Structure formats: C-alpha cells, structure tokens
A and B are shown apart, each in its own frame.
Chain A
C-alpha cells in the first residue's frame, strides 16, 4: 500500500457533478468511519466500565457524549461535498462498529446511523453544499441529535419517562457542541494540514 505511486489528481475532477462519488471519496469516507470507529471503540472500553459503575446515572450520561457519535457526518460532508456523503459516512461507520469491532448494540445501529446522518447532512444539503459556517455546523449537530433522539426514544422507551425533557435537552446541547461545532474545528485543522487538498474542500479553498 505504501508503495503506491503518488500521482496528482487531474483538474477535470473539479467539474464532477454533486451527486457522483469518486472512488477516492468513498475511501475517504471509509477511512473516516474506520478511524472514528476505532476511537469510539477505545472510548467505549472506558465508557462501559464507567457506565456500569454509575448504574442508572450511566443511562442518562450517554446523552452527554452523544454528539461525539455525530462527528463523522459533518466532517465527511465538508470534505467531499457530495450528496448523501453524511448518510453514507454514518452508515459505514456503524457497519464498522457492528461487524468489525463487534458492538453488541446490534444492527439497529445501522438505522440509527442513517437517521442521524440524514439530520446532520440536512443543513448543508439545503444550502447546496456551499455554506460551511458556524451556524450550519451548529444546526447540523442539532438536527442530527434531534432526529436520532426521536428514534432512540421510541426504541428505548424514553417516551412517558419523567426524565424525557432532561434527556432531550442534554442530547441537543451535546449535539450542537460535540457533533457540530467540534466538527468545524476538526475540518479546519485537517484542511490546514493539507491532507484533504485533493478533495472538494481543497478545490473550493484553492479556487
């Protein structure tokens, strides 16, 4: 793999339509899913022990970190700037989580991932993948965490609990901060390293 020739991408690639993924985009999305899947896995190892110790409070504390699970979608959208990039990134990340890293949450994670990916991608899609300000990222985190909350609330029976609004509030705040604003920080740091210069984000910055 390391022996691969490093050629430069032809400039014609910038004329690519917004709905077509190149193989390079797909691999980038997979790599994002792999790295975040691995980091989540590392965190979850620590997290599971902590949540068992916390007992019932652990069930509530999951909302605090929920935003972190949203990160992949806005980062993928911002770099690739192609339709469905966020949804596909989330689904691939969940496949890696379940199939390769053996998460016991099971395949409902795929459904949750698709829903939160759709939520995270919506604000960017509405602006035709051309606006990447703080507001778009914040909205992305808000919608991602909000959408998946509805699904999880049904799946985990949060409706009708006394804690319903507390859960919703924590989760939305976490979505905005960890799943939205943090994504912008990471995307800009990545762009600064030059590692994503050959993707849509690099072409937009250099145009």
Chain B
C-alpha cells in the first residue's frame, strides 16, 4: 500500500504558480453551480474546457491524467446505467426486464458528465497544489485560524507516515497469526479491524504528544508570522474572473440555445 503517490511534490507549471485558495474557490463554485444543472450539454462543455486547461496549463504526465480518470469514469458509467434503467418516463427500449427511458438517459448522462467535469477540475487542482501551501494560503487569505491550520498541517505530516505505520502493524500482527493452510498470511475483515484499531490508538497517542509540543510553543496565543508566505497577485484574480466569466458564458450560451435543464426534470 503506497499513499505517497497521492502525496507527492508538485511540478512547476502555470497552474501550479496560482494561489491555492483561489483554485479551491473556483473548484468549489463550479461544483456548486453544477449542482443545479441537469442537462448533459453544460457539463460536457465544462469537461472539455477543464480537460483543455489541465492539458495546457497543469503539465501533468499523460499517464497520471488517464489513471486519475479511472475511478470517476467507472462511477459515471454506473450513474448513467442506473438512471437509464430505473427512471420512469417515455420508454425508448423495452425488452423486459430491461427498460430504457428518454428521461433516464438524459438525467443519467447529465449526472455522469457532471462527475466527469468535477473530476477533471479536481485532477487539475490536486495535481498542481501543494497541500502545505494550500493550508498556509487558507491561513493567510481565508482567515483560517492558526490553531486549525497547524493542527491540520500536523495531521498532514501524520498522514504521510501512516502507510509505513500500517505496514509495521500489519507485519507485527501477521507474524503472530497462524498461516492459512496454503501458507499465505491471513488478511480478512477481522485482521483489517484489528490493525485499524491499533493504528487508531497509536495515532491518538502520538496526536496527544503533538498537541503538547504545539502548545508548549505557544501556538494560538497571539498573531503569527508565516514561513514561506504564499503570494496572491493580479494573475490570481485574473484566473478567478476568467474562469467564472467562462462559466457564465457556457451557461448563458446553453440557455440561449434552449438546451439548459434545471432540477425540475427529476420530479
């Protein structure tokens, strides 16, 4: 098990130079807007725009982008199929027990494409954002309190060590567990539960020590300066304005063409 692949350093790229709080805000706003969009065209356009932006400005390896697609493409397919089969409406295909409806296909593809659109933007965000810079920026620019910021950063450090901790616990436990008949080590639900509980206890103990050392350094008592401040400049505001403008343009365009649909289609 290797979580470090998800916790790696960020390669330099135009998107990586932008302010993390601004990127998170964009991701959040787009997701929020997509929440009330139930037509397939808008999310499809946003997916293509997002893909173009990630390919053009994030400089992620092609392999990373393709692999990162796997989980949400699978999820999107599931959503599409379930909606197509289980939503009442105008019947398109009727081969019992299979019944595909127009409404089902429409809503299903809209939701599947929404997952894809948010997915590609998440790839762009995660692939170009250093978590430590994000927390620092949230502290500097979004008024996140020092106590929360440093508690989360301490948690991040702990998270990086968890895979190794997990491995040690698993090895220590499997050494003492009898082998299966074929000589393999046992790892079922009860083994997972036992290792998980041990991990929890060990981590809580370490967390208490961590908070004592943070407190002994006077964290949360007064204003703090920041090591390696994260810049927030005109280019970041331009990025924010540009993306939101583009989002508005897409929605207005789809609406003008009469292709837009709201949540009303569900009911």
Contacts and interface: CB of A to CB of B under 8 A. Distances in A.
A17 interface: no
Interface in A75-93: 92
A69 B119 CA distance: 20
B200 interface: yes
A100 B156 CA distance: 7
B123 interface: yes
A52 B74 contact: yes
Interface in B72-107: 72, 74-75, 77-79, 81-83, 85-88, 107
Contact of B266 (A27, A48, A157): A157
Contact of B122 (A27, A42, A104, A156): A104
B212 A28 contact: no
B207 A31 contact: yes
B169 to A, nearest CB: 12
B215 A24 contact: yes
Given A39-B196, A155-B35, A193-B201, A102 B6 contact: yes
Contact of B159 (A38, A59, A156, A198): A38
Contacts of A159: 266-267
A109 to B, nearest CB: 9
Nearest to A75: B200
A24 to B, nearest CB: 4
A28 B208 contact: yes
Interface in A96-139: 96, 98-108, 110
Q: Is the interface of A mostly helix, strand, loop or mixed?
A: helix
A160 B1 contact: no
Most chain B beta-carbon contacts within 10 A, residue among A56, A103, A154, A162? A56
A26, A29, A33, A154: most-surrounded residue (chain B CB, <10 A): A26
B71 A26 contact: no
A181 interface: no
B162 A34 contact: yes
Contact of A35 (B77, B119, B200): B200
A147 B220 CA distance: 34
Interface in A19-33: 21, 23-24, 26-33
Contacts of B46: none
B201 A195 contact: yes
Interface residues of B, number: 77
A206 B148 CA distance: 29
Contacts of B75: 48, 51, 59
A106 B121 contact: yes
A21 B211 CA distance: 13
Interface stretch (B9-17, B23-31, B228-236, B249-257): B23-31
B242 interface: no
B172 interface: no
Given A38-B166, A96-B159, A193-B201, A23 B213 contact: no
Given A1-B213, A6-B212, A161 B24 contact: no
B263 A28 contact: no
Nearest to B75: A51
A30 B108 CA distance: 36
Given A5-B212, A157-B83, A99 B126 contact: yes
Interface string A31-70: 1111101110110010010011001101110000000000
A28 B204 contact: yes
Contacts of B81: 55-56, 59
A204 interface: no
A106 B122 contact: yes
B122 A98 contact: yes
A18 interface: no
Contacts of B206: 1-2, 31
18 contacts: A6-B212, A21-B147, A26-B148, A26-B151, A27-B208, A34-B203, A39-B199, A41-B3, A48-B74, A51-B75, A56-B82, A107-B27, A107-B28, A154-B266, A157-B266, A160-B88, A189-B197, A190-B200
7 closest residue pairs by CB, A with B:
A31-B207, A4-B213, A30-B155, A27-B211, A52-B74, A106-B118, A59-B78
Interface of B: 1, 3, 6-7, 24, 27-28, 31-32, 35, 38, 68, 70-72, 74-75, 77-79, 81-83, 85-88, 107-108, 110-111, 118-119, 121-123, 126, 129, 131, 134, 147-148, 151-152, 154-159, 162-163, 166, 196-197, 199-201, 203-216, 219-220, 263, 266-267
